[in-house]
Amino acid sequence: MNILILYYSMYGHIHRMAEAAAEGVREVAGATATLRRAPETLQPEVLEKMGALEPQKAFARVPVCTVEELPSYDGILFGTPTRFGNMCGQMRQFLDATGGLWAKGALIGKPGGVFTSSATQHGGQESTILTFQTFLLHQGMVVVGLPYSFAGQMRIDEITGGSPYGASTIAGGQGERLPSENELAAARFQGRHLAGIAAKLAR
């Protein structure tokens, strides 16, 4: 059983969450995790002006995903930064190219979930995940969130991401805050949870 973790990361926050989610997937017996990046749509000179080229070197080794490979996985966990309460343009453009899969029903019945990041504590994390889930529903996927059995989302002793909709992290206005251990634990939990559901569906 192979779970795809498909993400876009500009400064590395979502990449770290994706790695944690992969760790969670691998905790399920017989499950493997495959990391893939959504294709970049910005020119290198634009990314350089945004200060993103250097951070992206850390995960440049992760292969870029193709639409054609999506049906070969038993479940998909998507990661995207928040852009004004919605997914980033890179992920949106990639998903818009999956019409052929929709026409064939190629993703029907596969579990799918979403994790995200935002600059601020209330920067649209939940709306990003909720609006992303409409794609999962149109593709006939089984929506998997972050249940309250992950008690870390109920913490009030520290600032933290995470909600029943999915794992999340707060990056800071300048990207200065890296995912906390609690946020990484949420990503691991969601990865493990999705892989467990995929295993049950496979049986």
Q: Is 102 marked as binding a ligand?
A: yes
Is there a binding annotation on residue 83? yes
- 156 is annotated as contributing to ligand binding: no
Residue 73 annotated as lining a ligand binding site: no
Q: Is 10 annotated as a binding residue?
A: yes
Residue 13 among known ligand-binding residues: yes
Query: According to the annotation, is 3 in a ligand binding site?
Result: no
150 annotated among ligand-binding-site residues: no
Tell me whether residue 148 is annotated as binding.
no
DSSP 8-state code for residue 80: E
Cite the annotated binding site for FMN by residue number. Answer: 9-14, 82-84, 138
Cite the annotated binding site for substrate by residue number. Answer: 102
Cite the annotated binding site for NAD(+) by residue number. Answer: 11
Cite the annotated binding site by residue number. Answer: 9-14, 82-84, 102, 138
